[in-house]
């Protein structure tokens, strides 16, 4: 029987220019999925993300900027079960939280 999961994904290796600021190097995002196991929930969340236009745009922009998107990775940051109540009655936004890489600031 399927369970309700909330999956936090962490994307790294991107290079997306931002006018007047440092380029986007990665992101965090949350997806909610139904799955039979945590492993299936992770696979489903990643597969769903990979089909989204906004994610594909990040890949395409990185490929144009760097010549390749081979370094782009998405990994599991956190996974948890959601109660029936939270699944149905709490808001969920599939938005991205972007971050820059501060390594080059020194």
Which own/partner pairs from 52-58 qualify as long-range (CB within 8 Å, at least 24 positions apart)? 52/94, 54/96, 55/11, 58/11, 58/14, 58/16, 58/24, 58/27
Angle in degrees, CA 99, 52, 35, rounded to 5: 100
Domain boundaries, given as residue ranges, for the chain: 3-105
CATH number of 3-105: 3.30.1280
Task: Give the number of other Cβ atoms within 10 Å of residue 74's Cβ.
Answer: 19
Percent of the chain as helix, strand, coil, to the nearest 5: 35, 40, 25
Q: What is the pLDDT of residues 22-69, one digit of tens each?
A: 999 999 999 999 999 999 999 999 999 999 999 999 999 999 999 999
H or E segment at 100? none
Tell me if 44 sits within 8 A of 32, measured CB to CB. no
Q: What pLDDT does 8 receive? A: 98
Tell me if 88 sits within 8 A of 46, measured CB to CB. no
Q: What pLDDT does 106 receive? A: 40
């Amino acid at each position: 029987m399927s369970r309700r999961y909330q999956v936090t994904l962490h994307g790294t290796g991107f290079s997306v220019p931002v006018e007047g600021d440092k380029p986007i190097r990665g992101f965090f995002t949350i997806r909610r999925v139904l799955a039979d196991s945590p492993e299936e929930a992770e696979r489903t969340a990643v597969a769903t993300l990979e089909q989204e236009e906004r994610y594909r745009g990040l890949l395409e922009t990185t490929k144009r900027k760097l010549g390749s998107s081979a370094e782009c990775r998405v990994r599991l940051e956190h996974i948890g079960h959601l109660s029936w109540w939270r699944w149905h009655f709490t808001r969920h936004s599939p938005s991205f939280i972007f971050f820059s890489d501060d390594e080059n600031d020194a």
